[in-house]
Structure 1
């Protein structure tokens, strides 16, 4: 199943500062470990169907699986990145529950960083929810200068060619292309355009490693990137 998901929100990386921001990858070489291999099942915490005891009564009063998932989703930090930017996710759903969960939480990485930049909030709860380990430390190093420079982007970014790869039951990689040719960089306070859109900007290939934490969230723990990769042509 293929779909396009549009998310109205401001994002962090713009063509003029793609290497400096590098919120979604790093300039220079990045390992592309992605394939079309299936992803192993995610422990969603779903309850088993209730069994009857020897008396014929229900031994358990179970919550439907969808209710459990709904409760988990309700704990996710709200991310509102405003109306001036749109992330367009292509091929957003595969039809496989586990793969889609990994891709969903990979989107959370984008959106958490974007929220911190737009709202100038280095303690935004989505940061530590979707990002951990080396990736969180590196992300903080990258977003703080952007916040201090008062730079925010407007426009539309396109994310495509996403692929999830199993490493083991609690580790996965996600690779994707991101294209910024319709994104400009503006001063948050004055609205002055600091860098206009670059229609010739080339998409960059990003590779991330995710780990499943105890709360069932696929957190991005490492990332890297390469500009003008063949996979993004």
Structure 2
């Protein structure tokens, strides 16, 4: 998953377990699907826990982790509010997951609680691997990413599908040892398409369970 820009030299493209190649992107994703028990992040198996149904009472307050990426990591979410409480909640939690992955990268913590709060299953495991690549290269993200052309469908069974585009043309890798930013030229691969599957858990949080991306997607070109 992974919005992700970023592997030295924009951390070269990462192969997702369930889709084609993905690279860096603020959404945070990452590597091979083949993982053994030692590769699993804490809470990854939570994807098997029953979804909350619309009829179930929801907690009035959720103790959410604080998500604060570095000040030089900024975002432009163009999808805005839709007026439907459920749809707005999905978009809000999707945004938090994206920011949480960047924060984990900046703090060089592949098991950061923030992104694991907003992702489970394949998405959480792939994010862990994605973040680890930045740690291995002693790099993090910097710059601004734009999110646009979203398509959202919330189902009655407590799940949702979200597709969107990401513009990484103003987002780059920054190396921690030197402080140098790897500014790359803008190409068609600066634009990434994502398709996410989310589920509303018992806390009332929309967690991302699966995230697939396509770098250079024609539908995301300016």
Normalising TM by the smaller chain, what interval?
Answer: 0.7 to 0.9
2:215 is the alignment partner of 1:227: yes
Q: Please, which runs of 5 or more residues in structure 1 have no aligned partner?
A: 1-10, 28-39, 47-67
Deviations 1:140-180 (A, max 9, x none): 12211211211112111101111211344211111110011
Please tell me whether the aligned partners of residues 41 and 169 of structure 1 are also in contact (alpha carbons under 8 angstroms). yes
Structure-1 separation of matches of 2:102 and 2:180: 19
Q: CA RMSD in A?
A: 2.5
2:148 is the alignment partner of 1:163: no
Structure-2 separation of matches of 1:17 and 1:42: 44
> Structure 1 residue 43: deviation in Å?
5.8
> Structure 1 residue 231: deviation in Å?
2.4
Q: Please, which runs of 5 or more residues in structure 2 have no aligned partner?
A: 15-22, 32-52
User: What is the aligned residue count?
Assistant: 185
Structure-1 separation of matches of 2:209 and 2:12: 20
Q: Matched residue of 2:90: which SS? A: helix
**TM-score, normalization: structure 2?**
0.74
Match of 1:130 among 118, 129, 144: 118
> Structure 1 residue 184: deviation in Å?
2.1
Structure-2 separation of matches of 1:147 and 1:206: 24
Q: Matched residue of 1:113: which SS? A: helix
